[in-house]
Structure 1
Amino acid sequence: MTKIKDSELILNPDGSVYHLNLKPENIADTIITVGDQDRVERVSKYFDSIVFETQKREFKTHTGFYKGKKLTVISTGIGIDNIDIVMNELDALVNIDLKTRQIRDKLKSLNIFRIGTSGGIQEFVELDNFVMGKAGLGFDGLIHYYENDISQSKATKQLIEHLNLSKFKAQPYIVECSDKLAEMFEHEAQVTSGITATNIGFYGPQGRTLRLKLQDKDFVDKLTSFEYNGAKVTNMEMETSAIYSLSKMLGHHALSMNAIIANRTHGEFSKNPKRAVDNLIQFTLDKLCKL
C-alpha cells in the first residue's frame, strides 16, 4: 500500500496533524465546529468535564463530556479555505494511520455539526431563530479542486441561468446535508429548514457594498427567488457548503445549524446576538447527547 508523503500529510514533531495540533485520541466521533475561537469556551462551558484542550493559530479544540456524551468542539476561523484544512485533517485523524502514513482498511464516519451565525435573506427567516441548512449552496469553488460526483448538476445549471452568473466567477454547486442528522432537528418549532448559501467573502460576495461598486447589485434579490426541490435559499454565511461537500466526499455526516442574527430583507440586526448563539448552543447540545 502506498505511503502518503511527508509533504502531503504534514505532522508536528509530537506526531499530531500540522494545523490542528491533534492526535487521534484527542477527538470524539461527534465534532462541533464554530468559526470564532472564543466560541469554543462558550460551548465547552456547558460540558460536565473537559479532558483535552489545545490551540494552534485560529484552531482551538476542547474535548469533553456533556450528559455522558463525548464531544469535541473546534474553531475553524472564517472561510472555506480553513474548512479545507479542518475537514481533511479531521479525516486524517480517524482514517489514516499517522505512523505508517497509510489509509486504514476500515474507514470511520464522523458526525460533524456546525454551530454558526448567519444572515437571513427571506422575510420569513426571523431574527434570533435557527436555520438548518438542508443543502449547502457553494459560491466558493472548493469542490472543483477534487474529483467528485456529489453536486446537483441540473440544479446548478438552473441557478447559473437564474442568476445570469458572470463567467468570471466560480461555478456554484449544491450539496445536501446528512439526512440522518437532519432528522434530529427538522421538526422543531424554532428551526427553519432551507438552503444555506456559502460565499467567499462578507461584503461584495454577499451583496454588501460600502465604497466599492458591485458587479451584480441585484445578486441577493435574485438569490431569494431561487428554489431547489421546493426549498428557498434562506441564509448566507461562509463555511457550510465546504463542510457538506468535503464530508460527503470523505464519508462523514454533516449538518449546519445557524443562529440568524441579521435579516437582509428587513435590514435588521439582532439586539442580542450573543444570547441567540448561546440559545443555539444549548439547543444543539441537548440534541447531540441523544445521538
Structure 2
Amino acid sequence: MPIKASELILNPDGSVYHLNLKPEHVAKTIILVGDQDRVPKISKHFDSIEFETQKREFKTHTGTYRGKRITVISTGIGPDNIDIVLNELDALFNIDLETRIPKKELTSLEIIRVGTSGSLQNDIPVDSFVLSTHGLDINGMLHFYQIESIRNPEMESAFIKHTNWDANKAKPLIIQNSEFLQKKIESNLTFKGLTATAGGFYGPQGRVLRLAIQDENLNHKMDNFNFNGVKVTNLEMETSAIYGLSKLLGHHAVSINAIIANRANGTFSKNPGQVVENLIIYTLNKIIE
C-alpha cells in the first residue's frame, strides 16, 4: 500500500520536503554536520562539487574527494532534526517516491557525523578527537520507535542505577555504533567511549543560568559511570539519534567529535576552528582508505 501524502511529504518538484533533495542528489557515503557553515568547510576539499542546495538549516553539497562521491549535509541542532534528516535520507534511497511504496531491495548508507563536543573526562583534552562506540540517549526521541532490537539493557540498567535516574524522565537508551565504520575511522589519534546525547544545551546538559535543574549532580555521575571499561566520554545533541535510527533503518553510522571544551576541568580550546579543520581532513582521508 502506498505511503500517504501526509506521511511522506514531497515538494512540487518531487524532492523530499525538508531536505529539498532527490535521489540523484545524494551519495551513499554521507557526512553529517550540525552547523550549516561547516558544509563548505568540508566541500572546499572536494575535487569538484556537482550539486548544492539549502532549505532552512539543511544545507547539502555533493561532490567527489579523491575520486570518491560524498555528500555533506547540515542537520542543525538536536535529535528532533536528526529524526527528519535520517528518515528523509532513507526515503530517498529505499522508497520509490513516485509510487510511494518501499523498495524490495534496500540500500545501506554509510553515515559519518563530524561534530564538536565537550569532554566529561579529565584525561580527554581539548583539541582531541573522540569516536563514539555507543550513543547514550537521554533525550527520549527514540522511544517513539520500536527499539527493543537495538538496545543494550544490561548497560542501560547499570547507568540508571548508577545515576539514580529520575523516573519522570525518558528512560536512557544505549545504542552501539557500526563496528564496520568504527574500524574504518578509528586510529591511535582517537579516544573512544560512550557519547551522551541530550535534548537541549542548557538544563539537559547541566548548565545553570537562572533556572534550577532537576539533578545538579548528573554530569558528575556520568563522569564516573564505568561499564566493563566503557565510560561516558562526551556530551552533545545528535549521536544517539543517528545511531538509533541508522540501526533501525539498516544503515552504518559512526560519530566522531572534535573536543573543543572540557567540562571536567573547565577548559576551552584556544583555536576551535583549527581543531575542526584537523578533524575534517582526518575524516575525509579515512573515508577513502
User: Shared topology, TM-score over 0.5?
Assistant: yes
Q: Secondary structure at the match of 1:211?
A: coil
In structure 2, the partner of 1:251 is 250
Name the counterpart of 1:57. 56
2:211 aligns with 212
Aligned residues: 288
| Percent of pairs with identical residues | 59
Aligned-pair CA distance for 1:189: 2.3
Q: Taking structure 2 as the reference length, what is the TM-score of the superposition?
A: 0.98
Aligned to 2:197: 198
Are the equivalent residues in 1 in contact too, given 2:185–2:287 (CA < 8 A)? no
Corresponding residue SS for 2:171: coil
Q: Read off the aligned partner of 2:196 and give its amino acid letter.
A: A
Stretches of structure 1 lacking an aligned partner (at least 5 in a row): none
Tell me by how many angstroms 1:101 deviates: 0.4
Q: In the aligned structure 1, how far is the partner of 2:164 from the partner of 2:282?
A: 39
* Aligned match of 2:137: 138
Match of 1:274 in 2: 273
2:283 is the counterpart of 1:284: yes
Structure 1, residues 69-113: CA drift from partner, whole Å, max 9, x if none?
A: 000000000000000000000000000000010000100000000
Quote the Cα distance in structure 2 between the aligned partners of 1:204 and 1:268: 20
Q: Which whole-Å deviations, capped at 9, do the CAs of 1:108-129 have from their partners, x for residues lacking one? A: 0000000000000001111111
Structure 2: distance between partners of 1:77 and 1:223: 25
1:176 lines up with 2:176 in the alignment: yes
Indicate the residue corresponding to 2:70 in structure 1: 71
Amino acid of the structure 1 residue aligned with 2:171: Q
Q: Deviations over 1:216-250 (max 9, x none)?
A: 11111100111234210000000000000000000
| Contact preservation (8 Å) 2:205, 2:219 | yes
Q: How does 1:213-232 map to 2 (within 5 A)?
A: 213-232=212-231
Any residues of structure 2 matched to 1:34-183 within 5 Å, and which?
34-148=33-147, 149-183=149-183
Q: Structure 2, unaligned stretches of length 5 or more? A: none
The range that moved more, 153-162 or 281-290, is: 153-162
Matched letter for residue 102 of structure 1: I
Q: What residue is the counterpart of 2:185 in the other structure? A: 185
Aligned-pair Cα RMSD in Å: 0.8
The answer to whether residue 280 in structure 2 is matched with residue 262 in structure 1 is no
1:183 partner SS: helix
Structure 2 counterpart of 1:164, one-letter code: N
What CA distance in whole angstroms lies between the structure 2 residues aligned with 1:229 and 1:60? 40
Residue 158 of structure 2 contacts residue 227 of structure 2 at CA under 8 Å; is this kept in 1? no
